[in-house]
Structures are given as structure tokens and as C-alpha cells.
């Protein structure tokens, strides 16, 4: 299941040059470590971050190393397990948390992973999901039940942003204004409506 069996290559959408655009390229299928999984990517979502990288704006120029496979919203299935991975299975459908953390900081050791200063993002600082295969730490894998399609699994990241943002406020009985009708805005409106 490792890409093209002869060359061990995969197709990938890459920021190959420090200028506007992305390029379809061939890249090696990622090698996994003992705590990683290899995911065959079935669906991806396009985030505003990906547009910044495409446009090669000031933020992207300061943040994104070139070359880099972009993309961080995805759904797929596990095709290879690292030797230390025991709680996931080959063939299991999944999405994943795209923020890769170190495990040595005080914040990570205390379970406050979102505050880890060593955090890096797939498709932003590390090779991403706009490819046939993605390497991801097993810790970051989010298994998908059969009731969640790959279409929905690929947008769990923006859904998480919408839920987190909407629930950061006491919404019960309040009038709410959400500016922007992109995916996150639409999902945040649904969360606010559900809360009441």
C-alpha cells in the first residue's frame, strides 16, 4: 500500500517555489517512525491558510519553508502502523489533529498540549495532507466512525475552530452576530443556534 510499488513515489501538491501558486509533483511516500501511522488520504479540505500559502503573502513568506507539501484538513485510512502503535488498526478510517507537539515542554507534560511552544503544523511547517499519503503521530489520529463520511471527516478541523470559538462565549439567550459566511462562520452559526 506504499504508493507506487516500483518507485515508492506519490503525487503531492507542493509549494515548490517562493512565489504565488502550488505545483503538482512527485514525492517519496513518507517513512513512519515507531509512534506514527501512514494514512492514505481520501479527501481534503481547503483552508484559508492554504490560500495564504498559495498567494505567498507576507505571513506565508515568514512561516512556510519551501519546498513543502501543503494541506492540513483531511480524511483517509491507515495503511501502516509504527511498531509502538497498538490502539489503531490498518484499514481504520481517520482524520487527525494537524498541530504536532513536542512532548517535553512543561505545558505538554501537564496535558496543556495547545500551549506547547514547540507546536508545528502539518501543511504549514511540516509536510501536509495534499498528497496521496500522510505521516502522522498516532497521538494525533482521530478515528472516524462509519456514521461520519470522509467529506465530513475532512472538515473536522474547521468544525473544531467553530465550536471552540462559539463556545468561548455565553451564548444562551443572546443575539449573536457572526461575520463571514465561510465554512467556519456557517458552522459557528449552527453551533450558536443549537446552544440557544
The yes-or-no verdict on residue 68 having pLDDT over 80 is yes
CB 101 within 8 A of CB 113: yes
**What is the structure's pLDDT at 138?**
98
Pick 50 or 172 by higher pLDDT. Answer: 50
The yes-or-no verdict on residue 5 having pLDDT over 50 is no
**What is the structure's pLDDT at 102?**
86
The yes-or-no verdict on residue 3 having pLDDT over 80 is no
Determine the average pLDDT of the residues in 121-145: 98
Determine the average pLDDT of the residues in 148-162: 95
Backbone phi and psi for residue 105, each to the nearest 5 degrees, phi listed first: -70, 160
Task: Give Cβ neighbours of residue 101 (< 8 Å, ≥ 6 apart).
Answer: 108, 113, 116, 118, 119
pTM summary value: 0.90
**What is the structure's pLDDT at 180?**
86
In the chain, where are the structural domains located? 9-150, 155-196
CATH number of 9-150, picked from 3.30.470.10, 3.40.50.720, 3.30.390.10, 3.90.180.10: 3.90.180.10
**What is the structure's pLDDT at 4?**
52
9-62 pLDDT tens trace: 999 999 999 999 999 999 999 999 999 999 999 999 999 999 999 999 999 999
The catalytic residue positions are 49, 52
**What is the structure's pLDDT at 113?**
87
Instruction: Provide the pLDDT confidence category of residue 96 given band limits of 50, 70 and 90.
Output: very high
Amino acid at each position: 500500500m506504499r504508493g507506487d510499488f516500483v518507485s515508492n513515489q506519490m503525487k503531492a501538491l507542493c509549494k515548490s517555489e517562493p512565489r504565488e501558486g502550488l505545483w503538482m509533483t512527485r514525492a517519496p511516500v513518507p517513512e513512519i517512525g515507531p509512534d506514527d501511522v501512514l494514512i492514505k488520504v481520501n479527501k481534503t479540505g481547503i483552508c484559508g491558510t492554504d490560500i495564504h500559502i498559495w498567494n505567498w503573502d507576507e505571513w506565508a513568506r515568514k512561516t512556510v519553508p519551501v519546498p513543502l507539501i501543503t494541506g492540513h484538513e483531511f480524511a483517509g485510512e491507515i495503511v501502516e502502523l509504527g511498531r509502538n502503535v497498538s490502539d489503531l488498526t490498518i484499514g481504520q478510517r481517520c482524520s487527525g489533529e494537524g498541530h504536532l507537539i513536542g512532548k517535553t515542554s512543561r505545558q505538554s507534560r501537564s496535558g496543556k498540549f495547545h500551549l506547547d511552544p514547540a507546536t508545528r503544523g502539518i501543511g504549514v511547517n511540516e509536510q501536509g495532507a495534499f498528497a496521496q499519503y500522510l505521516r502522522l503521530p498516532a497521538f494525533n489520529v482521530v478515528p472516524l466512525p462509519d456514521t461520519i463520511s470522509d467529506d465530513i471527516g475532512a472538515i473536522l478541523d474547521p468544525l473544531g475552530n467553530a465550536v471552540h470559538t462559539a463556545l468561548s462565549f455565553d451564548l444562551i439567550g443572546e443575539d449573536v452576530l457572526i461575520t463571514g459566511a465561510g465554512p467556519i462562520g456557517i458552522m459557528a452559526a449552527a453551533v450558536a443556534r443549537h446552544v440557544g
